[in-house]
Structure 1
């Protein structure tokens, strides 16, 4: 039994019954008027409630949930046509940060701001301030902040959440486990698209959004798994490849090392069948940065040799040219032979003309 401010007793059973009645009413309404998104939300509400309670007890549980929700946000939206999901994600992100700060202060008597002193949070803060200042730009459009808020303020908020919760190696390993499962799921979906085909929803999307013009090409099909497009998918696979590839070098357990190597190889394979040429430079750039930070002469030498081999293979040979994925990736090293490169150069000229008088 609990007591309200007037001294009257409130039975938990009565509260449960009230919530049940409201949920049942929502289900009946959704069935009568065929609003199946309401049905899904009502059915999932107990799960969300459990997550909310756990996040209040331990914000890291909220981070794991938010990480999962973010990775599978696009397929959820695509197959349910749910409106307003992005707003709920924004609310959940900000709420989690506030909860985390309150929890940290309650547990330690202070907030561990020392963890936030890094390039990622400083860069995110500068970027957020710069984009906020664009409000004085006379050519600014409100839609710019609405549609790009995910890469503006989420960068700062998520970096703060990350550094304030990733305070132990165990937690990092948990997030790595989550990402490994998500990556393998994305690769499996891509393999399904390649060998079985696109499902009805994906086919409709390709036609209605005219994505078929850039994904169903004459010489190759660009697969995108459950991501927004092949470009987004390819760059994510490139990131996964370099992350798990580097991690495999340092992890001590043989099974985990083998597991990470398998994920890295699967990610490279998925990157190639995505047909996203620019994504090649994600693992390449990551390798160069890692080598530079390591300050290991042997590793630097090995990276240089591998880099030269990689460049010569794509830029100066025709090995594997019969494979459509390799043939497409090779055009990234021979851009003048690619039609989209010419279009890109023209766009750069137009943008340069604009920036000449409006550099900020």
Structure 2
């Protein structure tokens, strides 16, 4: 007894000295940072233990790394409010790499057999092709490959490994979906603040830098961008979550839930409207009909078409609502051949076709868009704006790469449809319907904007496509579940 008491006292004493040493080192380190960096040092000293705790949690459970990756993708846009240069992209790279390490550390709990999924094979084929592109002899500056391969394939490959192998639960999916909707709701409110109250000083600085004012101030009207990278990305996300919210209105059984998601749908839709992003309309025009096709509810699809046709005709052949800027932007989306910017895009694509005629593998990853302007501004690929995600893929990987990429997207959609149609559990069905319909809508919009290469859309798509492809993991037949519950009740006797 005395020996046990001694051991406990000794352990407590050791812990006391350990905590005291850690606290002392932390105090010295914080003091040094504050003395050298001032306010920035104070912020770093506060964040350091938080970051360390998160890193430990990622190593303990890769699911936390996946969840943190999704949250960070929404925080990227806040960098414009910080006076110091924060390499958020590299932080996300590091987080995904650390999460992959966590998979191996916790290897015995991981379901490695799911890497044989057809969806993962499609992503691996595309990933390997982008690696081969590193050796493209046409690339004027090969190190630029590292900047564009991340949104092209690397992050998708890494997120796919984690989403497939980690023991993700239904609760984890609920947290991810709810956090996605919550971030989107906050983004809509921030856009309303921009529209009806005004911009923050940091947002004004961003707007006046580069070409941002030219693309976000049209005819004296602000295209709201919230805390996302730009208005196009914000509009795409708002249109996507509008589709998700509307689907939940149809799928929820309880009236209170229906009303809650209807409210969210209206908020998100107006967020899309104040973004002034015309092409985001096609996220909804493609996503919601695809949802009805998934349900194989052709009566509702027919009713939807009957209701939609008069609205489309109203926008096409009347001037009703033209005094409202948002309505006029929607109207112009349906008449692209009357839009000078769309005609300019077609002219640019004709120029690109001449350059790419003899380049089946493209000019090399990292030669166009932002990376091209940064590293090889004199190259032809950097001088012609792609104005489209698929055009960017075409420029950098050629017609071979574009064909592979589109086949991958179509393959993922086909696999998703097959898997979803086999589901029995209502909860899983409504979640996967929303994921798949939103993915289809975003894929359609990719023709006009590079939304499939920007946060947070990439993170949502990269995770959701693999959740859809393996949705059978969470499927429970309601009849079987009810029978199992009844059997358990009988086995325990009467209550």
TM-score, structure 1 as length reference: 0.86
Name the SS of the counterpart of 1:72 in structure 2.
Answer: helix
TM-score, structure 2 as length reference: 0.64
CA 1:41–1:349 in 2, change beyond 3 Å: closer, same or farther?
same
Greater mean alpha carbon deviation, residues 161-170 or residues 268-277: 161-170
Aligned partner of 1:178 in structure 2 is 179
Q: How far is 1:258 from its partner?
A: 2.4
Equivalent residue runs for 1:24-63 within 5 Å: 24-34=27-37, 36-63=39-66
Tell me, in whole angstroms, the C-alpha distance in 1 between the residues paired with 2:230 and 2:184: 16
Q: How far is 1:200 from its partner?
A: 0.8
State the structure with bigger RCO (CA 8 A, min sep 6), 1 or 2: 2
Q: How far is 1:111 from its partner?
A: 2.1
Deviations 1:214-271 (A, max 9, x none): 1112152101000111011111111111122213322334333322222222111111
Aligned partner of 1:128 in structure 2 is 127
Tell me, in whole angstroms, the C-alpha distance in 2 between the residues paired with 1:80 and 1:116: 45
Tell me, in whole angstroms, the C-alpha distance in 2 between the residues paired with 1:62 and 1:288: 34
Tell me, in whole angstroms, the C-alpha distance in 2 between the residues paired with 1:71 and 1:178: 10
Tell me, in whole angstroms, the C-alpha distance in 2 between the residues paired with 1:128 and 1:236: 25
Greater mean alpha carbon deviation, residues 152-161 or residues 248-257: 248-257
CA 1:161–1:209 in 2, change beyond 3 Å: closer, same or farther?
same
Aligned partner of 1:4 in structure 2 is none
Tell me, in whole angstroms, the C-alpha distance in 2 between the residues paired with 1:170 and 1:353: 52
Tell me, in whole angstroms, the C-alpha distance in 1 between the residues paired with 2:137 and 2:98: 33
Tell me, in whole angstroms, the C-alpha distance in 2 between the residues paired with 1:155 and 1:186: 24
Name the SS of the counterpart of 2:224 in structure 1.
Answer: coil
Aligned partner of 2:69 in structure 1 is 66
Q: Is the 8 A contact 2:58 2:65 kept in 1?
A: yes
Greater mean alpha carbon deviation, residues 126-135 or residues 266-275: 126-135
Name the SS of the counterpart of 2:323 in structure 1.
Answer: coil
Tell me, in whole angstroms, the C-alpha distance in 1 between the residues paired with 2:116 and 2:241: 24
Q: Is the 8 A contact 1:219 1:324 kept in 2?
A: no
Equivalent residue runs for 1:139-288 within 5 Å: 139-140=138-139, 141=141, 142-165=143-166, 167-288=168-289
Q: Is the 8 A contact 2:187 2:226 kept in 1?
A: yes
Aligned partner of 1:7 in structure 2 is none
Name the SS of the counterpart of 1:75 in structure 2.
Answer: helix
Q: How far is 1:187 from its partner?
A: 0.6
Structure 1, unpaired ranges of 5+ = 1-9
Equivalent residue runs for 1:76-87 within 5 Å: 76=79, 78-87=81-90
Tell me, in whole angstroms, the C-alpha distance in 2 between the residues paired with 1:111 and 1:337: 53
Q: Is the 8 A contact 1:220 1:325 kept in 2?
A: no
Greater mean alpha carbon deviation, residues 276-285 or residues 28-37: 28-37
CA 1:306–1:214 in 2, change beyond 3 Å: closer, same or farther?
same
Deviations 1:148-171 (A, max 9, x none): 513421122223323444744332
Which entry has the higher C-alpha Rg, 1 or 2? 2
Q: How far is 1:42 from its partner?
A: 2.3
Q: Is the 8 A contact 1:244 1:260 kept in 2?
A: yes
CA 1:279–1:144 in 2, change beyond 3 Å: closer, same or farther?
farther
Aligned partner of 2:332 in structure 1 is 331
Tell me, in whole angstroms, the C-alpha distance in 2 between the residues paired with 1:209 and 1:33: 32
Deviations 1:153-201 (A, max 9, x none): 1122223323444744332222121112101110111011111111111
Aligned partner of 2:391 in structure 1 is none
Greater mean alpha carbon deviation, residues 205-214 or residues 292-301: 292-301
CA 1:293–1:16 in 2, change beyond 3 Å: closer, same or farther?
same
Q: How many residues align?
A: 348
Q: How far is 1:126 from its partner?
A: 2.7
Q: How far is 1:13 from its partner?
A: 4.1
Deviations 1:304-343 (A, max 9, x none): 3344244323222322111001112211111233221122
Tell me, in whole angstroms, the C-alpha distance in 2 between the residues paired with 1:165 and 1:251: 28
Aligned partner of 1:93 in structure 2 is 96
CA RMSD between the two structures: 2.6
CA 1:344–1:88 in 2, change beyond 3 Å: closer, same or farther?
same
Deviations 1:101-147 (A, max 9, x none): 543x323xx6243376253x344323222211111212223223324
Greater mean alpha carbon deviation, residues 205-214 or residues 300-309: 300-309
Structure 2, unpaired ranges of 5+ = 1-12, 362-495
CA 1:219–1:85 in 2, change beyond 3 Å: closer, same or farther?
closer
CA 1:86–1:39 in 2, change beyond 3 Å: closer, same or farther?
farther
